[in-house]
Amino acid sequence: MIIYGTKSVHLKTQQPPTLVCPSCASQGTTAISVFRKHAHIFWIPLFPIGKKGISQCQHCSMVLWAKEMPEQIKRACFNLKKESKGPLWQFSGLVLIGIFIVFSIYANGEDKKRELEYLKAPQIGDVYEFKIKTGGYSTLKVVNVTNDSVYVSPNEYEINKISKIYRIDKPENYSDIVYGISNKQIQLMYNTGEIFDINR
Ligand SMILES: [Zn+2]
């Protein structure tokens, strides 16, 4: 269950001496307050939605929303809205999402860098995850390395879901058959995306 909604935060209240209450005609008794609403999800504020002004006469308790305000109060309310700044924490969720995106991009870049190093200097035990041309995914395990080639043992299993490929990467799943692939060919398979991940 996702819990979400909106919440209002009080920003500022002012009681200008010139305002006249339309209900009891007292002067200087009308206080105007400005609130800013924000959307939240699991109580984490995401982003502000907008500001709202409300007035209340301290003498007769008459409450007015922006639409009901006479021109004089409306203008004072508008000005107060303009000068009240909402707190930055109302953006917390957006900031968190931003940090998450930046981190993901960084982590992905680091991952690619590591894979390029694995390609340049393969080691026994490296596992190449690859797409099968007819569909599905499987792995190859490096069992020997020479100057210009790697010798791999194919996985006897394949799997349809790319995210579940780790399930078939078990020592007992690898065949006794071993064949060589040139480093150039491996690099080409990686460049074309046929090999899409390397685990060490
Ligand atoms: Zn009043």
Amino acid at residue number 110 = E
Tens digit of each residue's pLDDT (9 = 90 or more) over 26-60: 999 999 999 999 999 988 999 999 999 999 999 99
Q: What is the pLDDT of residue 39?
A: 94
| Residue 108 is assigned to a structural domain of this protein | no
DSSP 86: P
> Tens of pLDDT along 144-153?
999 999 999 9
State how far the Cα of 45 lies from the Cα of 108, in Å rounded to an integer.
Answer: 28
Query: Domain check: are 77 and 133 in the same one?
Result: no
Last residue of a domain, one of 74, 90, 106: 90
Q: How far is the CA of 19 from the centre of ligand 1 (A)?
A: 10
Q: What is the pLDDT of residue 84?
A: 94
Cα 95 to middle of ligand 1, angstroms: 43
| 99 alpha carbon – ligand 1 mean position (Å) | 49
CB proximity list for 79: less than 8 A, separation 6 or greater? none
Is the pLDDT reported for residue 64 higher than 90?
yes
Same structural domain for residues 128 and 194?
A: yes
In a domain, 106, yes or no: no
Domain of residue 136, CATH code: 2.30.30
What does the chain come to in residues? 200
pLDDT of residue 2: 82
Tell me how far apart the alpha carbons of residues 72 and 82 are, in angstroms, rounded to a whole number: 16
pLDDT tens digits, 75-131: 999 999 999 999 999 999 999 999 999 999 999 999 889 999 999 899 999 999 999
Q: Does a structural domain hold residue 105?
A: no
Token digits for 71? 């021109």
- Counting the structural domains of the chain, the total is 2
Instruction: Clarify whether residues 145 and 189 are in a common domain.
Output: yes
Cα of 72 from ligand 1 centre, angstroms: 14
Q: Is residue 9 part of a domain?
A: yes
Task: Give distance in angstroms: CA of 23 to centre of ligand 1.
Answer: 5
Answer whether residue 137 is part of any domain: yes
Tell me: pLDDT of 21 over 90. yes
Q: What span, in angstroms and rounded, lies between the C-alpha atoms of 184 and 200?
A: 20
User: Domain residues for 184?
Assistant: 114-199
Predicted local confidence at residue 134, as pLDDT? 86
Distance 63 CA to ligand 1 centre (A): 9
Would residue 100 count as lying in a domain? no
List of residues 6+ apart from 146 with CB closer than 8 A: 180
Same domain for 54 and 121?
A: no
> Is residue 27 domain-shared with residue 75, that is, in the same domain?
yes
What is the whole-number distance in angstroms between the Cα of residue 68 and the centre of ligand 1? 14
Task: Say if 97 falls within a structural domain.
Answer: no
Closest CA to 141 of 191, 185, 195: 195
Q: Which of 132, 123, 134, 187 is nearest to 154 (CA)?
A: 132
Is residue 99 assigned to a domain? no
Phi, psi (degrees; rounded to nearest 5) at 60: -110, 0
